[in-house]
């Protein structure tokens, strides 16, 4: 192993040596080699990964994935608009918090943490409140590992001429999708997820005609999505403020490695097989999944904690870390769980090794 352990989390995640080595050079943010040769190439490749439809563009935003979500929510919705937030986990809830902080009119459709959104129910909510102009939903809710039915939800949203905002933070690049076919207007993701880059920036892939309507709407200077995009368009990749150059260069290398692997379809297959090995192995050891298998994503899985009186997550975590694996605590409010991710530079043999390590770490058994 190149690292001291594998990060079995929803991101940041384990990266390849070559992605990390890409950060060993400094880059000038004014130089064409960086702006045209790296940033603009990334922007074009992101759009190509997202859709075969015409009319889409992309913009990169400094900061965490949440910063890009906040930039989108704060820049896209006009003062007379209203947002419907579909919430079935911590990250849907966070979108509602952003709307509240920014004083954006909104309604949160709280579905709990173990239920998928129902498209017919969402259609009813939209029909009952014609003031709603925008709808936001998380694709893969890593609170539980649930994959939400984005195509069905998009169908009812677009049938009513609403703007669809999709938080695809932990799914884009790891699950095949065409946002143009689905009708997504704004899709948000981050460098340190399924593309397998490192933290430092997020990105938004948007219908250009809709993004062009966002001039002057932003509630923040540094998170003005339109101004960032306009600057990159005018100056061929130049960021308005300091670019996270090392992270961007690592992401450029990560995109090369995604293509070398066979693209999103091949990466999805690896993740899907990783998750199957994980679940089968965990169940063979007596662990139970929080969600029904039909709701699982290939990204991260929640497991109920053992009910044994001597079980302690921190001790279990430490034993696994000593064996080269870092897992994630649970985030479900009404169940004692922990989570194990299988994305990043993690392969089938790693999941088999993980199951062996978990077996050897079950001190309570």
To the question of whether residue 339 is assigned a binding role by annotation, the answer is yes
CA 302 – CA 324 distance, rounded (Å): 20
For residue 238, the tally of other CB atoms under 10 A from its CB is 18
Q: Are 163 and 186 in contact (CB under 8 A)?
A: yes
CA 153 – CA 115 distance, rounded (Å): 14
- Max Cα–Cα distance, the chain, nearest Å: 62
E-state strands within the chain: 6-7, 56-62, 83-87, 106-110, 134-138, 140-141, 146-147, 163-167, 186-190, 201-207, 300-304, 325-326, 328-329, 337-341
Q: Which of 58, 89, 308 lies closest to 189 in space, CA to CA?
A: 58
CA 90 – CA 331 distance, rounded (Å): 8
Binding-site members are: 339
Binding-site members for substrate are: 339
């Amino acid at each position: 192993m190149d690292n001291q352990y594998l990060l079995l989390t929803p991101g940041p995640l384990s990266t390849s040596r070559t992605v990390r080595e890409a950060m060993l050079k400094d880059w000038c943010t004014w130089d064409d080699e960086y702006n045209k040769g790296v940033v603009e190439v990334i922007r074009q490749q992101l759009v190509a990964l997202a859709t075969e439809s015409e009319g889409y563009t992309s913009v990169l935003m400094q900061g965490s994935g949440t910063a890009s979500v906040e930039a989108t929510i704060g820049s896209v919705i006009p003062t007379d608009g209203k947002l419907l937030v579909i919430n079935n986990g911590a990250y849907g809830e966070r979108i509602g918090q952003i709307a509240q902080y920014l004083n954006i009119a909104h309604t949160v459709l709280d579905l709990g943490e173990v239920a998928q959104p129902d498209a017919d129910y969402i259609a009813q909510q939209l029909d009952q409140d014609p003031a709603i102009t925008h709808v936001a939903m998380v694709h893969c809710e890593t609170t539980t590992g649930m994959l939400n039915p984005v195509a069905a939800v998009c169908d009812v949203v677009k049938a009513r001429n609403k703007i669809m905002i999709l938080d695809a933070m932990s799914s884009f690049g790891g699950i095949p999708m065409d946002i143009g076919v689905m009708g997504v207007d704004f899709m948000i993701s981050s460098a340190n997820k399924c593309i397998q880059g490192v933290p430092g920036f997020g990105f938004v892939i948007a219908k250009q005609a809709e993004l062009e309507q966002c001039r002057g709407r932003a509630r923040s200077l540094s998170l003005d999505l339109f101004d960032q995009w306009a600057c990159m368009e005018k100056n061929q990749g130049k960021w308005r403020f300091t670019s996270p150059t090392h992270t961007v260069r690592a992401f450029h290398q990560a995109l090369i490695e995604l293509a070398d692997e066979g693209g999103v379809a091949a990466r999805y297959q690896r993740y899907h097989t990783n998750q199957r090995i994980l679940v089968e192995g965990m169940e063979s050891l007596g662990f139970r999944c929080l969600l029904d298998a039909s709701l699982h994503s290939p990204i991260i899985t929640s497991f109920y904690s053992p009910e044994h009186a001597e079980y302690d997550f921190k001790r279990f975590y430490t034993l696994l870390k000593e064996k080269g694996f870092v897992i994630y605590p649970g985030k479900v409010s009404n169940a004692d769980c922990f989570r194990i991710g299988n994305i990043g530079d993690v392969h089938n043999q790693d999941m088999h090794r993980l199951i062996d390590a978990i077996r050897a770490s079950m001190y309570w058994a």
